[in-house]
Amino acid sequence: MKRFKILGTGTALPKRVMTNADLEKVVETSDEWIRERTGIHERRIADEKTSSATLGARAMKAACDQAGIEPDSVDAIIVSTSSADAIFPSTACWVQHELGIRGMPAFDVAAGCSGFLYALEVASSMLSAGTCKRIAVIGAEVMSKVVNWEDRTTCVLFGDGAGAAIIETCEEDRGLLASNWGADGNLAPILHAPAGGTRMPASAETVAKNLHTVTMQGRSVFRHAVRAMTEAGVKAVEDAGLSADQIDLLIPHQANMRIMEACRVRLNVPEEKMFSIVHRYGNMSAATIPVALHEAREAGRVVDGSVVAFAAFGAGLTWAGAVVRF
Ligand code: ACO
What is the per-residue pLDDT for 76? 98
Burial (CB count within 10 angstroms: exposed 0-12, middle 13-18, buried 19+), residue 129? exposed
Out of 156, 219, 258, 285, mutate this one to test ligand 1's pocket (max ligand atoms within 8 Å of CB): namely 219
206-251 pLDDT, tens per residue? 999 999 999 999 999 999 999 999 999 999 999 999 999 999 999 9
Which amino acid residue places its CA nearest to atom 42 of ligand 1? 218
Q: Which of 289, 242, 292, 306 is nearest to 268 (CA)?
A: 242
Distance, CA 40 to ligand 1 centroid (Å)?
Answer: 13
Instruction: Give pLDDT, residue 132.
Output: 96
Q: What is residue 225's predicted lDDT score, i.e. its pLDDT? A: 93
DSSP conformation class of 260: H
Contact of 99 with 105, CB cutoff 8 Å = no
Burial of 225 (0-12, 13-18, 19+ CB in 10 A): buried
| Nearest Cα residue to 191 out of 225, 161, 141, 160 | 225
The rounded distance, in Å, linking the Cα atoms of 240 and 237 is 5
Can you tell me the distance from the alpha carbon of 304 to that of 135, in angstroms, rounded to the nearest whole number? 20
- Does the annotation mark 93 as catalytic? no
Which residues lie below 8 Å from residue 2, measured CB to CB, with a gap of 6+? Answer: 124, 125, 127, 128, 175, 176, 179
Note the maximum CA span of the chain: 56
Q: Taking the model in full, what pTM does it have?
A: 0.96
Q: Which has the closest alpha carbon to 14: 149, 104, 144, 137?
A: 144
> What pLDDT digit, counting tens, does each position of 139-189 carry?
999 999 999 999 999 999 999 999 999 999 999 999 999 999 999 999 999
Ligand 1 lined by 229 (C-beta under 6 Å): no
* Four-point Cα dihedral 109, 114, 120, 126, nearest 10: -40
3-state secondary structure 205-228: HHHHCCCCCCEECHHHHHHHHHHH
Q: Are 87 and 36 in contact (CB under 8 A)?
A: no
Q: Which domains does the chain have, with CATH numbers?
A: 2-173 (3.40.47.10), 176-276+287-325 (3.40.47.10)
* 227 touches ligand 1 (CB under 6 Å): no
Best residue among 37, 157, 281, 285 to mutate for probing ligand 1's pocket (most ligand atoms within 8 Å of CB) is: 37
